[in-house]
Chain A
Amino acid sequence: MDDRSKYLRRLVIDALEGGGRGHIGSSMSLVEILRVLYDDVLDVRPDDPRWPDRDRCILSKGHGCLTWYAVLADKGFFPKEELLRQCRAGAMLGGHPERAHIPGVEASTGSLGHGLSIGTGMAIAARMQKRPSRVFVITGDGELDEGSVWEAAMHAGKHRLENLVALVDYNKLQSYGPVKEVLDLEPLADKWRAFGWGVKEVDGHDVDALRAQLSTLPFEAGKPSVLICHTVKGKGFDFAEHQATWHHKARVEAPDVARMREALERA
């Protein structure tokens, strides 16, 4: 794992330490996806977060927000000190992202299955207004259990939304256990294809591969694009990887923080 991926994970650990709680596994699987988006793909202006021509990013799996907060703070959307107060009284950052309070957050998410519909509305609006904006929506894999996601997928296909990109954080683990056992998504790529999307798959922790794939948007002319990112829940903390028990911790204490910091150095 390179320095930048470790650095962003350290910011997440700082936030976990400061807030004393958070979704750990589902934040760690996202780091490289969000990193590549904000470092290499999205056209956004931290000093003018509502610039009309910006690309929109929606974290539909809102519980992965600690990583989003870390990346947004690192990019200068808001001071890094905010990370240390997340979920505390009077904080700007809560356990799920809220559009009204956080610069750079385009939709309030956490209730699963909403983001792709909002994203299709934004993508249609951008096309109507002839703006160059693209809309990126990051969904979880467990989130794909929600029927509303597939309503939106069908709809984006119908409207041939070339400016819409979905990224699936496919870490194979949902709250209760393996996705395969709780509600199997396979064949996942075929499902999206059948709904009219251009589909690619990638190792969601391989920064170069993510960059390469996202430099070829749209994946197919006249279709929305979905990048299925194969990821590892808890990535970077060896004791937490693939462990459903690390999906969310309501109490993160000093020994947990120390363990995470040590594990990150080994990664």
Chain B
Amino acid sequence: MRQVAVNMVETLARQDDRVVFIGSDLGPGLLKNMKADMPDRFFMEGVAEQHIIGMAAGMAMEGYIPYINTIATFLTRRCFDQIAIDVCLENLPVRLIASGGGLVYAPLGPTHLAFEDMGLLRTLPNMAIAAPVDAPEMERLMRASLDWKGPLYIRLAKGGDPVVSRAEAGFAIGKAIAMRQGGDVTLIGTGIMTGRALAAAEQLETQGISASVLHMHTVKPLDDAAVLEAAAGTGLIVTVEEHTRIGGLGSAVAELLAETDGAPRLLRLALPDAFPEGYGSQDNLLSLAGLTVDGITGAVTKALEGRK
């Protein structure tokens, strides 16, 4: 997924000379063809993330579309003020491609775990936040990003994620994708968790529970209409995300439903409000939080039983 995102910057740069790439201090050889063919639009500027955001803002004010790539936590936590003032206040077309979204960097520990990135950025006016489910969808997002008017945060998953998206479903930033229809429960996922939600829906089917699955690749702006339509059709909504339960997809949906008359019950499956503990793999940490296919299935079953 990361490779697709980064390669797409080069593709976009070849078709539109407003596109520039800015990296902090990334792996050797990254985008070497872009660097060779478009040296004036390739910047690798060192471990100076705050500066890079301001620099990108300055370039965007002069008509460029900067695509920045570095590690998610450094982009979000460290540069929050620059993102707020330099980029969002001016509503500039700066794209933040965040490596290691969620728990991808599990072996590296909490300094590198972007478990609150969406919550942070969701509070900023003008910021759009997207988390594709797989590499083909990342490509569609990147194509759509070129003409997106304001700032955009792009959360990268680990790479090698199972492909569950379908090209024929189309793609538009801010528009959810209905991936499965069912009448008992609606699972809403973002990022790679949509894949797990789909698998959980299959498992629920074997238990006689019919589940809709809505893929919310864009957490902000939230596709309110899609959520409300799902709310009208099923009695239970379950959000599934690789993010702290505060501020992410579940919060966004909760905020919407809280202001909706007769809204169905909402269950938020997310990481606890705690710094993720332990190392191992992304899957290990997700399992600890119950964010597995079995965990989702079990939580949904329990919630439905509670209603009977």
Interface positions of A (Cβ within 8 A of B): 98-100, 106-108, 111, 113-126, 128-129, 147-148, 151-152, 154-155, 158
Contact = CB atoms under 8 A, between A and B. Distances in A.
A148 B50 contact: yes
Q: Is the interface of B mostly helix, strand, loop or mixed?
A: helix
Given A100-B90, A117-B50, A152 B55 contact: yes
B62 A155 contact: no
Nearest to A112: B81
Given A111-B81, A155-B45, A155-B48, A122 B58 contact: yes
B82 A151 contact: no
23 contacts: A99-B90, A108-B86, A114-B85, A115-B54, A117-B50, A117-B54, A118-B61, A119-B58, A120-B51, A120-B55, A121-B56, A121-B57, A121-B61, A121-B62, A122-B62, A124-B59, A125-B61, A129-B63, A147-B50, A148-B50, A151-B50, A151-B51, A154-B48
Q: Is the interface of A mostly helix, strand, loop or mixed?
A: helix
A121 B59 contact: yes
A100 B92 CA distance: 12
Contacts of A106: 61
A235 to B, nearest CB: 29
Interface residues of B, number: 26
Most buried by A among B50, B58, B61: B58
A148 B64 CA distance: 22
A123 to B, nearest CB: 8
A99 B86 CA distance: 10
B290 to A, nearest CB: 40
Contact of A121 (B46, B58, B81, B89): B58
B40 interface: yes
Contacts of A117: 50-55, 57-58, 82, 86
Contact of B82 (A114, A126, A155, A158): A114
Enumerate the 6 nearest inter-chain pairs by beta-carbon distance, A residue then B residue, closest first: A121-B58, A117-B54, A125-B62, A151-B51, A151-B48, A121-B55
Contacts of A115: 54
Given A108-B89, A111-B81, A155 B59 contact: no
Contact of A125 (B48, B50, B58): B58
B303 to A, nearest CB: 44
B48 A118 contact: no
Interface string B8-52: 000000000000000000000000000000001100011010111
B225 to A, nearest CB: 30
